Amino acid sequence: MYQLNKVDKKFPGVHALKAVDFTIGRGEIVGLVGENGAGKSTLMKVIYGAYQADGGTVTIDGTTVRFQSPRQAMEHGIGMVFQEQSLITNLTVMENIFLGFESQFVKFGIIDWKAMAAAARHQLSKVKLDIDPAMTTANLSFAQRQLVELAKVLTLEERVDGDLVILLDEPTSVLAREEVELLFKLVRELRTRASFIFVSHRMDEVLELSDRIYVMKDGEVVDVVDHDEADIDTIQHKMVGRDIDKEYYREQKQGPYDTNNVLVSFDKVSLAGRYSDISFDLHAGEVLCLVGTEGSGREPILRTIFGLETPTSGTVSLKGQQIRSFNAQTGVSMGVGYIPRERKVEGIVGGMNVYENMTLSQMQNYASGGVLNISRERELARQWIDRLSIKTPSVFKDCGGLSGGNQQKVVLAKWRSAGSDIILLDHPTRGLDIGAKEDVYDMVREMCDDGAGIILVADTLEEAIGLSHTILVLKDGEAQQVFHGQPGDKPSLYDLVHHMT
Amino acid sequence: MDGIVTRETLVKWAPLLVLLVLILFFAVMEPRFISVRNMARIAIASAPALMVAVGVTFIIIMGSIDLSMEGTVSVSAVVFAFAFLAMGGTVLSWAWLALPLALIVGAVIGLINGLVHVRLRIPSFMASLAMGFVGTGFALLLTGGDRIRIEDEVFRGLLTERWFGFPVMCYVALLFLFIAWFIQSRTTLGRNFYAVGGGEELAHASGLNVDRVRVMGFMLAGVFYAVGALLAVGRIGIAETATGNNFMFISITSVVVGGTALWGGIGGVWNTLIGVLIVNVIGNGMVVIGLPGYVQDGVLGLLVITAVVLSTDRKSVSFVK
């Protein structure tokens, strides 16, 4: 029995956990859900010892404990299977499993590899993985690596008296559906050995697997639902704290798009190893959303449109003109604006100020003979600060010091002021708070009204559904299904998930 | 919040503060330290180093590193000297063409440097270090180990002609410092250096030709190394393979001590000016107050570590927020 009582955690400016109570019994599987920023990861970090709580107590079987490090938590039977795979890929499977705990196999300063292999095989059998422990980890599939991670955590069984608590952080995000089934079956069998805390964005999976579900919002546990009473809608409403209504995604502002004006046209385009045979048209005023799991080919498609990847076959046309040489300069000159997910902060260059960031993609328009006309740059920045109501003390402010939402606005101003009308948005609302998200949704609608076309990779499926006119569902680089959604007549989450996985 | 701002400001002005404290310290220890004569001595020693350091500043702002300066300086100096003597041996003849020629040689070496780094995808650190050795070797090949004397009165005027107590070469260095500042703050190229250093992926995703910026950066650095070479030759009147010696340590130390961040994106040529002065004030001051030379090296080493620690902290502050 592992218990948190009124656990509190504060960071400068953020009250991340507010008097959280959490209990997990022997052999239980407990789900943990919440939006980004609800406090899930902080809670997990407190549980496995990476953070120390500021207030409240942690008890195991009634005894109060306090972990200074994950290692101490492990000694009390708490193990973590990380979302980002934490195996070291150039080591062998067994080295990974016993990383940091090799001493049990050491005799006279030398590692007894045979003993380690045997022990590793024993661990792997717990997760029903039949591979050679001396294999290099890089050669395993993602699903296999996930199981190795689990096997690694299960070594705690031999080292620790008492019960195990294993945290699974988004374990299914890189797995195919069949692999997920296998993992769930395994977890259910392993209940005799350990209890599990299961964290996932995939609500249906959480419902399927968990005995109880903790719903978090703004650092608080807002509800604990039993498996039998759980229902996706209710939980989602509690996560958001209000209805995910049409207003939230500005559906009432979703206008029809111009079917005669094709901005981007993909005709049977393939990029070897990334995606194949993709066809779609993006029209002026349209939001087209690419939906799929990680690695389904969404990002390579964006990169192709922008010119960062050269397709192996098929034709790509921008504004009716077939593209033959793919590079970012061509993309920018054709009016493509790309807001990638891999951004240092939110798509701005930290250390550079507001106007420097805004003109980054269009410096040639503000320079003659390579010499910049800085007063014109400042003027542009002032205009857009007004137009998008960007909150910044001045145009000289280092963009790194702006809030995420304002940084996002600067990035959008950068592309829109340069006249870009094909906007590629990759997770534009990731890490933003609700208010800033709504600003981004407003901007999406405004850009459409101005005749821009938007290709979106949304942060959540709800966002994809709410924002887009057209949804292209991808799986393993292949188009699965196209949905057209008018306000009031949108595809459901289930429709999408059904084709995604 | 206030605490962070104060710290940021402190870190920003720390190099200047250090310089002033050093000057004050040496002036108190030995009043002759602040005589015009001694100040000129520091300026003369600083001028060539400043040019080389300014060149590498651009590279460091881009988040790369250039270690080819010793080779580039030697080759530029030697090529200049040969061409200068061959074409008449005085600035008043066609030999003045040797001056721009030296700059072109610097640019070409920088170009090769940049192309090797960008096209062959070799880390700039390795590519430039190797090019530096090639340069030193090439300079030795040209001279056969000889020293080439430049005795032209007009060219030596760089050192001998003094305005307000400071030789002409100091004003030349100042002029090029202003040119560098203009490039840094007023041109697309300068802006691009910061963009590449601050977020290379993002610069790329903004349609910048990052590879081209890199190559241009190395060329520009090469030109400044060549200016440094000319001043170095003007200072001692000799061009030889050893002309480039010590510039690597001095210039990188100066850039770092001046507060330009090694990971790129932060800093600039004024920081480098302060850095060069700090290094040379320490060097000169120690001699003036009569401390042995090896203490200097130790002090400089400590200074580099302090500077990096300070600026690294600044980085984590900007992330924690």
Residue-wise DSSP of B146-167: --EE---HHHHHHHH-EETTEE
DSSP-derived secondary structure letter, A257: P
Closest by CA position to A418, among listed A353, A334, A323, A349? A334
Residue with structure tokens 């300086």?
Answer: B73
Q: Residue A400: closest CA among chain B residues belongs to which residue?
A: B318
User: Which of A328, A339, A370 is opposite residue B207, by nearest beta carbon?
Assistant: A328
- Rounded to whole angstroms, the Cα distance separating A6 from A54 reads 10
Question: Which residues of A are less than 8 Å from B317 in CB distance?
Answer: none
How many Cα neighbours within 13 Å face the side chain of B53? 35
List, for chain B, all residue ranges whose pLDDT scores fall below the cut of 50: 1-3, 314-321
The nearest CA of chain A is from the CA of B281 a distance in Å of 30
| Percentage of chain B modeled with pLDDT above 70 | 94
DSSP-derived secondary structure letter, A318: E
The nearest CA of chain B is from the CA of A349 a distance in Å of 5
Residues 236-265 of B with CB under 8 A from A: 265
Alpha helices for A100-231 (secondary structure H) = 113-126, 142-154, 156-159, 177-189, 203-209
Residue with structure tokens 């040639």?
Answer: A364
Query: In this structure, which amino acid lies at residue B32?
Result: R
Query: In this structure, which amino acid lies at residue A444?
Result: V
Give Cβ neighbours of residue B109 (< 8 Å, ≥ 6 apart).
B68, B71, B72, B75, B76, B131, B135, B222, B225
Would you state the pLDDT for residue A120?
A: 92
Bridge partner residues of A326 (DSSP): none
Residues of A with CB under 8 A from a CB of B: 12, 306, 308, 328-329, 331-333, 338-340, 342-344, 347-352, 356, 360-361, 363-364, 367, 370-372, 374, 400-401, 414
User: Which of A338, A342, A372 is opposite residue B187, by nearest beta carbon?
Assistant: A372
Other Cβ atoms less than 10 A from the Cβ of B55: the count is 34
- Rounded to whole angstroms, the Cα distance separating A388 from A90 reads 48
Cβ of A363 within 8 Å of Cβ of B188? The answer is yes
**Residue A50: helix, strand or coil by DSSP?**
coil
- Rounded to whole angstroms, the Cα distance separating A129 from A151 reads 9
Across B127-215, the runs of DSSP E, i.e. the strands, are 148-149, 162-163, 166-167
The string over A416-436, giving b where at least 16 C-beta atoms fall within 10 Å of a residue's C-beta and e elsewhere, is bbbebbbbbbbbbbbbbeeeb
Cβ of B187 within 8 Å of Cβ of A367? The answer is yes
What token pair was written down for A163?
């019960």
Query: In this structure, which amino acid lies at residue B217?
Result: G
What share of residues in chain B are helix, strand, coil (percent, to 5)?
80, 5, 15
Closest by CA position to A416, among listed A321, A469, A356, A339? A339
DSSP-derived secondary structure letter, A92: B
User: Which of B195, B208, B209 is opposite residue A352, by nearest beta carbon?
Assistant: B195
- Rounded to whole angstroms, the Cα distance separating B82 from B80 reads 6
Angle at which helix B188-198 crosses helix B168-186, to 10 degrees, equals: 70
Other Cβ atoms less than 10 A from the Cβ of B62: the count is 28
DSSP-derived secondary structure letter, A398: B
Task: Tell me if chain A has a CB within 8 Å of the CB of B162.
Answer: no
Angle at which helix B269-288 crosses helix B36-61, to 10 degrees, equals: 140
Q: Residue B197: closest CA among chain A residues belongs to which residue?
A: A349
Question: How would you classify the pairing of strands A78-81 and A164-169?
Answer: parallel
The burial class, CB within 10 Å (0-12 / 13-18 / 19+), for B250 is buried
Angle at which helix A142-154 crosses helix A113-126, to 10 degrees, equals: 100
Alpha helices for A219-353 (secondary structure H) = 232-240, 298-306, 328-333
Asked if A211 and A58 count as a contact pair (C-beta separation under 8 A), the reply is no
Would you state the pLDDT for residue B92?
A: 87
**Is the pTM higher than 0.90?**
no
Cβ of A370 within 8 Å of Cβ of B205? The answer is no
Closest by CA position to A448, among listed A470, A419, A482, A423? A423
The nearest CA of chain A is from the CA of B180 a distance in Å of 13
Bridge partner residues of A336 (DSSP): A422
Asked if B22 and B278 count as a contact pair (C-beta separation under 8 A), the reply is yes
Residues 166-205 of B with CB under 8 A from A: 186-189, 191-192, 194-195, 198-199, 201-205
What token pair was written down for A381?
């920045």
Q: Residue A350: closest CA among chain B residues belongs to which residue?
A: B198
DSSP-derived secondary structure letter, A66: -
Task: Tell me if chain A has a CB within 8 Å of the CB of B206.
Answer: yes
Query: In angstroms, what is the C-alpha Rg of chain A?
Result: 25
Cβ of A349 within 8 Å of Cβ of B202? The answer is yes
Angle at which helix B293-320 crosses helix B2-29, to 10 degrees, equals: 170
Task: Count CB pairs under 8 A between chains A and B.
Answer: 85
Closest by CA position to B234, among listed B151, B142, B135? B151
Asked if A38 and A239 count as a contact pair (C-beta separation under 8 A), the reply is yes
DSSP-derived secondary structure letter, A84: S
Please give chain A's pLDDT, 501 residues, in tens: 888 889 988 876 668 888 999 999 888 999 998 766 678 888 988 998 888 888 888 888 888 888 888 888 888 889 888 765 678 888 899 998 888 888 888 888 888 889 999 999 998 988 888 899 999 988 888 788 888 888 888 888 888 877 889 998 888 777 777 888 888 988 898 888 889 999 887 778 888 889 999 988 878 888 898 888 888 777 877 776 555 555 677 777 788 888 888 999 999 999 988 898 999 999 999 999 998 877 788 889 998 998 888 999 999 999 988 988 888 888 888 889 888 775 444 478 878 889 998 998 888 888 888 889 899 999 999 998 988 888 888 888 888 777 777 888 888 888 888 888 899 988 887 767 677 778 888 888 888 888 899 999 987 777 888 888 999 988 888 888 888 877 777 777 667 766 765
Bridge partner residues of A338 (DSSP): A424
The strands making up A275-284's β-sheet, listed across from edge to edge, are: A275-284, A258-271, A313-318, A321-322
Residue B168, sorted as left (phi over 0), alpha (psi -120 to 50) or beta, turns out to be alpha
Helix (H) or strand (E) holding B255: helix B247-257
The nearest CA of chain B is from the CA of A371 a distance in Å of 4
The string over A357-381, giving b where at least 16 C-beta atoms fall within 10 Å of a residue's C-beta and e elsewhere, is bbbbbbbeebbeeeebebeebbebb
Query: In this structure, which amino acid lies at residue B85?
Result: L
Asked if A171 and A210 count as a contact pair (C-beta separation under 8 A), the reply is no
Question: Which residues of B are less than 8 Å from A367 in CB distance?
Answer: 187-188
Domain ranges of chain B: 44-245+262-268
Q: What does the CA dihedral A146, A150, A155, A156 come to, rounded to 10 degrees? A: 140
- Rounded to whole angstroms, the Cα distance separating B44 from B49 reads 9
| DSSP letters spanning A152-173 | HHHTHHHH-SS-EEEEEESTTT
Question: Which residues of A are less than 8 Å from B321 in CB distance?
Answer: 12, 401
- Rounded to whole angstroms, the Cα distance separating A274 from A297 reads 6
Question: Which residues of A are less than 8 Å from B208 in CB distance?
Answer: 328, 360-361
Would you state the pLDDT for residue B318?
A: 40
Cβ of B198 within 8 Å of Cβ of A350? The answer is yes
DSSP-derived secondary structure letter, A9: E
Cβ of B265 within 8 Å of Cβ of A349? The answer is yes
Give Cβ neighbours of residue A195 (< 8 Å, ≥ 6 apart).
A2, A24, A25, A26, A27, A28, A29, A30, A163, A164, A165, A166
ipTM of the complex: 0.79
Q: Which domains does chain A possess?
A: 2-240 (3.40.50.300), 244-335+421-501 (3.40.50.300), 346-416 (no CATH)
The nearest CA of chain B is from the CA of A281 a distance in Å of 23
- Rounded to whole angstroms, the Cα distance separating B287 from B293 reads 7
The burial class, CB within 10 Å (0-12 / 13-18 / 19+), for A91 is middle
Bridge partner residues of A372 (DSSP): A367
